Amino acid sequence: MKISRAALIAAVALAVLSAGFVPMATRGGATNAGLFGPAVAWAQNFGDRVVSGTVVNAKSEPVSGATVFLENEKTKTIRSFDSDAEGHFNFAQVDMTQDFDLWAEKGKLKSATRVVSSWDARTKWVAELKLK
């Protein structure tokens, strides 16, 4: 039994696609090695990140002495940091495999809560927290 080249190519393509393989995604115009392969995640979010930023008032002026909270959504543990004279805050060694809520308070004023997501691959996460 002789199989034509076109039939062989079609059979191989069907086998590859039915096995759950997809064409490789491109990133920045370059393809990963090979034409076909399993879908891959570009960023593996393991390790730590730095979460930092500035606390500002309604006029976007820096607020010193505001308390910034970083709460682990799973364990509910909270870390805090008081903003410096320029309104800056900084949390080092924030686990990239966990989700966190981030907000600031000073007196009766509170910022909106921001989510630092484990899906976010940035190792330096910067936010502006506006007190209202």
pLDDT mean values, one per 10 residues, the chain (132 residues): 68 58 48 49 72 98 98 98 98 96 98 96 96 96
What is the model's pTM? 0.67
Look at residue 55 in the predicted model and tell me its pLDDT: 98
Look at residue 115 in the predicted model and tell me its pLDDT: 97
* Residue 27: both structure tokens together: 């990133």
- Ranges of CATH 2.60.40.1120 domains, the chain: 48-130
| Radius of gyration (C-alpha) of the chain in whole angstroms | 24
Q: Is 97 left (phi over 0), alpha (psi -120 to 50) or beta?
A: alpha
Q: Quick check: 131 and 57 in contact, CB under 8 A?
A: yes
Q: Which of 77, 41, 68 is nearest to 126 (CA)?
A: 68
CATH of segment(s) 48-130: 2.60.40.1120
pLDDT tens, 16-52? 555 554 454 444 444 444 455 554 444 556 799 999 9
Q: Which of 42, 38, 83 is nearest to 63 (CA)?
A: 83
Look at residue 19 in the predicted model and tell me its pLDDT: 54
Average pLDDT, the chain: 83
